[in-house]
Amino acid sequence: MSSIKLLLHIQDENLSREAVRTLKESSPPLDFEQHDSNWNSLLERLSKSQPEVLLLDLSAVPGELNIAMRQLRYYSPSIKVIALHSSADPKTILAAMRAGVNEFLHPPFEDNLQPAVQRILTASTSEGVPAMRGKLIGFLSAKGGCGATTLACHVACELQNLTRKSVLLADLDLTSGLVGFLMKTPSSYSILDAIKNLARLDESLWKALIVQHRPNIAVIPAPASYSRWDHPDENQLRQVLQFMRTQHDWIVLDLGRSLNSIATAVLDEIDQLFLVSTLEVVALHGLKSIVHGLFEQGEKLQLVLNRTPKTMDITTQELEKILGRSLYAALPNDYMGLYQSYSSGNLLDSNNRLAQHFAMLASKIAGIPPLKNKKKFALFG
Ligand SMILES: Nc1ncnc2c1ncn2[C@@H]1O[C@H](COP(=O)(O)OP(=O)(O)OP(=O)(O)O)[C@@H](O)[C@H]1O
Ligand SMILES: [Mg+2]
């Protein structure tokens, strides 16, 4: 594997000349390599050499920038991208920031290129050592009411039971999140407060924003009221998720329903997305279109069938064939059980059959064998 830290992919001749000259003249000079071939071979090279920083000419990106950024991060998860463009066109800058680039620069580069590269290289060196990297998983309902919130709450608790580690449950269903209600953790703060205070977000501020459901299970609920003007900056939202990883071992996100803008914005950041559906035709239709839209996510996307009836009209195999993917889990239907628990202000009791399926699901996600007394059911059947 090459140890080069800085790779340039610049097709515009003027930009290339200017960037190369600036890097060579910088003091101390910065080592770099240039990639002159096409996009696919760039992805291949990133995957092999894993440079720390990519100087990317935006005019060299085929198709949409946000898709290109996802591809870059898929092949080189920790890559930092400095986008270059011949002009400071506000629309281009906005699109670049929304797609998740780390910096945007335009000529002349003399004063800003070297400091930007140094800043990123220094930051990634210090990031590499002490930061704790928690796992981030999200639950998304194929359409409203499939069970994303129910799964997020129960799986978060089961992950804590199983791993004994610090778990955060974050409600990113900003318009109608119910996590705070179900977990009995009312709060005046939400993820939006973390985003607003990003510049001074540290451990002590974070502790003031979250609410403890019980030891080692913290909750950050959705805002009490939300209008479209409150829609968070997506880059900042991702930065808050990165911060969460430094504070908790597991972060469980309730992402609401269908492929909404928040779910799309956090996709690159999360490790595993669980798409929750029922057998209802409308839900399966939503499921299919989301699976289609996220085809490039590969194994990151997993399907969970919820409220599975005792006898299904089609077999699991037939369903998997229709969806073109295998099911990660199938959970039984227990409307009454959930109704009674929620009415009494609790989550399901651990003896409940559905609760035991949640425990099995958590154990599969964590890759840890289930606790002994819970090993009663298989995830299918
Ligand atoms: N396995 C299950 N068996 C029976 N009922 C369930 C199951 N999972 C969830 N439910 C019920 O389905 C309803 C919707 O669940 P939930 O709120 O978790 O879904 P959601 O996908 O988060 O919905 P929304 O789109 O409103 O956010 C609730 O009444 C819940 O109790
Ligand atoms: Mg919900």
Give φ, ψ of 9 to 5 degrees.
Answer: -125, 90
Reported as type and span, the H/E element at residue 276 is: strand 272-277
CA distance 354 to 22: 62
Q: Would you kindly state where each structural domain of the chain is located, as residue ranges?
A: 6-128, 135-374
The letter for the amino acid at 150 is T
Dihedral sign computed on CA atoms, order 336, 342, 344, 348 = positive
List C-alpha distances in Å: 229 to 98, 175, 236: 17, 12, 15
- Report strand pairing: 167-171 vs 301-308: unpaired
Q: Which overall architecture, per CATH, does domain 135-374 show? A: 3-Layer(aba) Sandwich (3.40)
Atom of ligand 1 nearest to the CA of 331: 1
Give φ, ψ of 190 to 5 degrees.
Answer: -140, 180
Atom of ligand 1 nearest to the CA of 257: 25
Q: Which of 150, 357, 360 to mutate to test the pocket of ligand 1 (most atoms within 8 A of CB)?
A: 150
CA distance 287 to 175: 21
Cα 182 to middle of ligand 2, angstroms? 10
Q: Which of 139, 253, 275, 338 to mutate to test the pocket of ligand 1 (most atoms within 8 A of CB)?
A: 338
In this structure, which ligand is nearest to the CA of 257? 1
Atom of ligand 1 nearest to the CA of 152: 18
CA distance 197 to 184: 25
| DSSP label at residue 37 | S
Atom of ligand 1 nearest to the CA of 173: 27
CA distance 289 to 284: 9
- The predicted model scores a pTM of 0.69
Q: Please, what's the b/e burial string for 268-305 (b: 16 or more CB within 10 A of its CB; e: otherwise)? A: bbbbbbbbbbbbeeebbebbbebbeebeebeebbbbbb
Cα 216 to middle of ligand 1, angstroms? 25
CA torsion angle 338 156 232 62 (round to 10): -110
Cα 205 to middle of ligand 2, angstroms? 27
Residue 369 confidence (pLDDT): 86
Residue ranges around ligand 1 (CB below 6 Å): 141, 144-150, 173, 256-257, 306-307, 331, 333-335, 338, 354
CA distance 281 to 244: 36
Is the fold of 6-128 the same as that of 135-374?
Answer: yes
The letter for the amino acid at 172 is L
Q: Which of 335, 353, 356 to mutate to test the pocket of ligand 1 (most atoms within 8 A of CB)?
A: 335
Which stretches of the chain are DSSP H helices? 13-25, 39-49, 65-75, 90-99, 113-128, 148-163, 179-182, 191-196, 203-209, 234-247, 261-266, 281-293, 316-323, 335-343, 353-366
- Please count the CA atoms within 13 angstroms of the CA of 188 that sit on its side-chain side: 1
The separation between the first and the last C-alpha atoms of the chain, rounded to the nearest angstrom, is 46
In this structure, which ligand is nearest to the CA of 276? 1
Residue 39 confidence (pLDDT): 92
Whether 219 contacts 213, CB under 8 Å? yes
Cα 200 to middle of ligand 1, angstroms? 36
**Cβ-based neighbour number of residue 11 at 10 Å:** 13
Cα 379 to middle of ligand 2, angstroms? 22
CA distance 183 to 166: 16
Cα 350 to middle of ligand 2, angstroms? 21
Sheet of 6-9, strands arranged across: 33-34, 6-9, 53-57, 80-84, 103-105
Query: Can you name the CATH fold of 6-128?
Result: Rossmann fold (3.40.50)
Q: Per residue of the chain (381 residues), what is the pLDDT tens digit?
A: 345 789 999 999 999 999 999 999 988 888 899 999 899 899 889 888 889 999 999 999 998 898 888 888 877 878 899 999 999 999 999 889 888 899 999 999 998 999 999 888 877 655 544 445 799 999 999 999 999 999 999 999 999 999 999 999 999 999 999 999 999 998 999 999 999 998 888 889 999 999 999 999 999 999 999 988 899 999 899 989 989 998 999 999 999 999 999 999 999 899 999 999 999 999 999 999 999 889 888 889 999 999 999 888 888 899 899 888 999 999 999 999 999 999 999 999 999 999 999 999 999 999 988 887 644 555 664
Cα 168 to middle of ligand 2, angstroms? 17
